[in-house]
Amino acid sequence: MKNRISVTATAQDIATGAIDSMRRTALAVEHRTDDSTDRNLYFLAEESVFAQDTIRSDRPASFALQNGLQVVVIPDHRIPVVTQMIWYKVGSADEPAGKSGLAHFLEHLMFKGTTKHPSGEFSQTVLRVGGYRNAFTGKDYTSYYQHVPREHLGKMMEFEADCMTGLILKDENVLSERDVVLEELNMRVANDPGARLFEQMMAALYLNHPYGRPVIGWRQEIEKLDREDALAFYKGFYAPNNAILIIAGDVEVSEIRPMVEEIFGGITPQPSIPADRLRPQEPTPGAPRTVTLADPLVEQPALHRCYLAPSAHTADAGDSAALEVLEKLMGSGVNSYLYRALVNDKQLAVSASAGYHATALDPSQFWISVTPKPGVEFGQIERATDEVIADIAHHPASTEDLERVKTRLIAQAIYAQDNHEMLASWYGRGLATGLCIDDIRGWPDGIRAVGAQQVQEAARKWLDKRRSVTGYLIKESAPQHGEKLQ
Q: pLDDT, tens digit, for every residue of 16-53?
A: 333 443 444 445 666 544 333 333 333 333 344 444 44
Degrees, nearest 5: CA angle 126-130-135: 45
Q: What is the mean pLDDT of residues 418-427?
A: 87
Structure confidence at residue 31 (pLDDT): 57
- How many helices (H) and strands (E) would you count in the chain? 18, 12
Which pTM was predicted?
0.89
Q: Are 264 and 69 in contact (CB under 8 A)?
A: yes
Q: Residue 167: pLDDT band by 50, 70, 90 thresholds?
A: very high
Q: Are 95 and 103 in contact (CB under 8 A)?
A: yes
Q: What is the mean pLDDT of residues 444-469?
A: 96
In sequence order, which residues have a C-beta less than 8 Å from that of residue 320 and are 6 or more positions away? 50, 310, 311, 312, 358, 446
Structure confidence at residue 213 (pLDDT): 97
Q: Tell me: pLDDT of 140 over 90.
A: yes
**Cα dihedral value 411, 327, 47, 469, nearest 10:** 180
Q: How far apart are CA 319 and CA 461, in angstroms?
A: 10
Structure confidence at residue 30 (pLDDT): 62
Show the domains of the chain with their CATH numbers: 24-264 (3.30.830.10), 282-475 (3.30.830.10)
As beta bridge partners, residue 114 has 167
Mean pLDDT of the chain: 88
Q: Which is nearest to 116 in space by CA: 153, 148, 152, 163?
A: 163
Q: What is the mean pLDDT of residues 437-443?
A: 92
Q: What is the mean pLDDT of residues 396-400?
A: 94
Structure confidence at residue 206 (pLDDT): 98
Q: Residue 194: pLDDT band by 50, 70, 90 thresholds?
A: very high
Q: What is the mean pLDDT of residues 104-114?
A: 97
* 3-state SS assignment for residue 295: strand
Q: What is the mean pLDDT of residues 382-386?
A: 98
As beta bridge partners, residue 118 has 113
Q: How far apart are CA 365 and CA 376, in angstroms?
A: 27
Q: How many Å separate Cα 29 from the centre of its chain?
A: 9
Q: Which is nearest to 320 in space by CA: 375, 362, 357, 367?
A: 357
Q: How far apart are CA 393 and CA 246, in angstroms?
A: 41
Q: Which is nearest to 237 in space by CA: 212, 263, 269, 214?
A: 269
| Active-site amino acid positions | 107
Q: Tell me: pLDDT of 235 over 50.
A: yes
